[in-house]
Amino acid sequence: MVSALVVFATRNGATREVADAIADALRAEGTTVDVQAAWSVRRSIAERDLIVLGAPLYSGRWLPSVHRFLKRHRTDLEHLPVAVFALGPLDRTDEAWSCSRSQLDAALAKHQWLSPVATALFGGAEELGRSLSPRRDLRDWPAIRAWAVAVSRQADLAG
């Protein structure tokens, strides 16, 4: 049976929800999937067939736990297919999306040894109470699921 690990970092839970949706889509493709917070992954990941790593961009940066995960598991990750997603813009403008994509690229550039099989940028979600405006949620659930299926097939996990 094919095995994947979906690793995420989150502050308010939005990225965890995306990680769970990706895991569900991978399971629908016949993959055995575990979902774990980046800070909690301590054991070797070498036995996995795919790693999916996701994190939000806060002030243009990944959370520190993502960088620690990559550093801790570099030896294994250099030999595994890794797909990366980020939650970014809270605005629908092209400028916001372009800026978030540049921020994701900059985060990945800090780990030049990492060669993701796929990357994706999804809209972010702002929790109620973080501002005076109502919660904004630009996550596109059909696109998220479609990306997970494409990653599964690209990594030749579908069967």
User: What pLDDT score was predicted for residue 135?
Assistant: 75
- Residue extents of the structural domains in the chain: 3-154
CATH top-level class for 3-154? alpha beta
Has residue 63 got a pLDDT over 60? Answer: yes
- Sequence-distant (6+) residues with CB within 8 A of 28 are 149
* Spatial CB neighbours of 87, under 8 Å, sequence gap ≥ 6: 14, 15, 18, 54, 55, 56, 57, 122, 123, 124, 125, 139
Question: Does the pLDDT at position 128 exceed 80?
Answer: no
pTM of the model: 0.92
